[in-house]
Chain A
Amino acid sequence: MHSVAYRLNTLVSFSVLPLALMLAAASFLDGFNSPTVQAHAQIHKIRRFRKQVNGADEVNLSLNISMDMESLFTWNTKQVFVFVTAEYQTPKNSLNQISLWDHIIPDKEHAKFQRVVPNKYPLIDQGSNLRGKNIELVLHWHIMPKSGKMIQDKMSLSTFNLPEAYS
């Protein structure tokens, strides 16, 4: 009845409970963190604006991005995935959301920066609607926890108009 195996079994199965409670608490406490994110982004330069062979508009550009995401980090944060999307409407689509640039912030020490970056992914439309189009830049962040619930949020950064002619 009180063999080593029996005691080991009891110990292991009991330790699962406090562990689960601690993980749940860590994730639950994340909910009390009310972050204040500060970020700005503008178009630095339109590098190339063309029509692909298949007829779809394609824009390559560079962005001037600055952000302070330090307040997002808690003790349960593994990393924060940030990305900037271009969002616009076309007659065919009520929403076009295209990721232009993304970045993984591994810890709080690297959560504040300013830099000029080329787009990682080109802005490609599902057609030829981009000339003169008004486009909104939106910053999204996705908090990936050490365990528990994943948290997502976004903020609008700025809007700009694409040129009327291809370059």
Chain B
Amino acid sequence: MGWIGDQIESIRSIQVRQLLTQAISLGMIVTSALIIWKGLMCVTGSESPVVVVLSGSMEPGFKRGDILFLHMSKDPIRAGEIVVFNIDGREIPIVHRVIKVHERQETGEVDVLTKGDNNYGDDRLLYAQGQLWLQRHHIMGRAVGFLPYVGWVTIIMTEKPIIKYLLIGALGLLVITSKE
């Protein structure tokens, strides 16, 4: 009786330990992803350091599904830079090139006009009603780096949520069932 009890006890303790290890490794994956993201936010100074290109308005330079790395510094904005900006009343930020800059004499405030390389006209039609210029506070960052295709993963996952749940489920199962 004592021997059997010992055996059951040892199996139980193994399972508890294994369960704990799995929970911790799952937690490690989630937190390290969070650390990388927040770390990038600190280094780049932009609230979203990586963006995925969603439209073809900057083709052939940037295609849908490409990834851009953003940087937000105190440096003044100049013509030719590719900036990511938010328009009041629009949820999705836009990535376009600056074609006009007017910088104030005393305050250093800027009026900026943007245009997509692949668009015929400038962006005044995209701006809020009656808005002629972008100001500093609309701009989330300027694009400094480029990586092709990688963004397709997120595009597919946002457009086909089933794939996202399948993927998360499969990954979770893998983490839980894998031994060492």
Contact = CB atoms under 8 A, between A and B. Distances in A.
Given A91-B105, A121-B122, A152-B80, A99 B147 contact: no
A91 B79 CA distance: 20
B117 A81 contact: yes
Nearest to B108: A94
| Contact residues of A: prevailing secondary structure | strand
Interface residues of B, number: 26
Given A97-B78, A98-B100, A104-B60, A23 B105 contact: no
Contacts of A99: 79-80, 99-100
A146 interface: yes
B61 interface: yes
A93 B109 CA distance: 9
Interface in B100-152: 100-105, 108, 111, 117, 122, 143-148
A147 B102 contact: no
Given A104-B117, A121-B122, A140 B79 contact: yes
Contacts of A96: 101-103
A2 interface: no
Nearest to A121: B99
10 smallest CB-CB distances across A and B, nearest first, come from A99-B99, A97-B101, A95-B103, A97-B79, A140-B80, A144-B61, A94-B105, A93-B102, A98-B100, A126-B102
7 contacts: A81-B80, A83-B80, A91-B105, A92-B104, A94-B105, A142-B80, A150-B146
